[in-house]
A = this chain, B = another copy of it.
Amino acid sequence: MRTHQLVMQWIEDQLSGGQLAVGGRLPAERSLAEQLGVSRTSVREAIRILEAMGVVRAGVGSGPEAGTVVISDPTAALGSALRLHVATQHLPVSDVVETRVLLESWAAARAKPDAPELLHASELLDDMDSAGPGVDEFLALDVRFHIALADAAGNAVVSAMMGSLREAIQGYAAKLTANLPDWDATAARLRSEHREILEAIRNGDGGRAAELVAAHIEGYYKESGLGRGHG
């Protein structure tokens, strides 16, 4: 095991053992290096990796707010790893889309009609109605709406994976959305599909909600030329 891996192992053990928890701080770089008998460079490398994995936020400056804090942001971290593997073409975009359909239709079928996340989802739809004509603002709200639906199913792993898939192909999606023949028409369609999905969940019709979500995602990628076989 290389020295930076030794530092990572120590931190993982501290997390598993409960000595370190979300919101807690790592020892200062120098003291951690001394304690583990490794170089400060190795400690810094380990922290950079943990930062990229969404496990810590590296501190800057000094004072009570300084230091490296334990966080938990698996979505962004898994998303950037997946994005890199999509870039190497090891993970085809069409497989990413298919997996999104799988996870999101499962979540729609599982979401409780009275889940508090659905209120948030509903507010996001209102925001989308009053959003300007820009694609970026629409897509940002769209991501948050889909994540709110996934959250309503109550499985943190599915939510993190679903968010990371979205993150992984965000660049592609934005590029292709810009090429759509008629963005206004597409946006209007997406808006009404969102309302239908939310309504099906609220009516306790998980089966229909799942079908609607699948058609919604597949339809979008098909229209933007990112459908199965084009990845």
If the complex has contacts A91-B156, A155-B95, are A53 and B55 also in contact, measured as CB distance less than 8 A? no
Chain B residue at minimal CB-CB distance from A155: B95
In which size bucket is the chain A interface?
A: 35 or more
Q: Which residues of B contact A89 (CB under 8 A)?
A: 21-22
Q: Mark A47-58, 1 if CB is under 8 A from B, else 0.
A: 011101111000
- Select which of B44, B78, B158 is within 8 A of A99 by beta carbon: B158
A79-87, A123-131, A196-204 - the one binding chain B: A79-87
Q: A55 CB to closest chain B CB, in angstroms? A: 5
Residues of B within 8 A of A161 (CB): 99, 161
Asked if A35 CB lies within 8 Å of chain B CBs, one says: no
CA distance A158 to B52 in the complex (A): 22
Interface residues of A in 171-229 (CB under 8 A from B): none
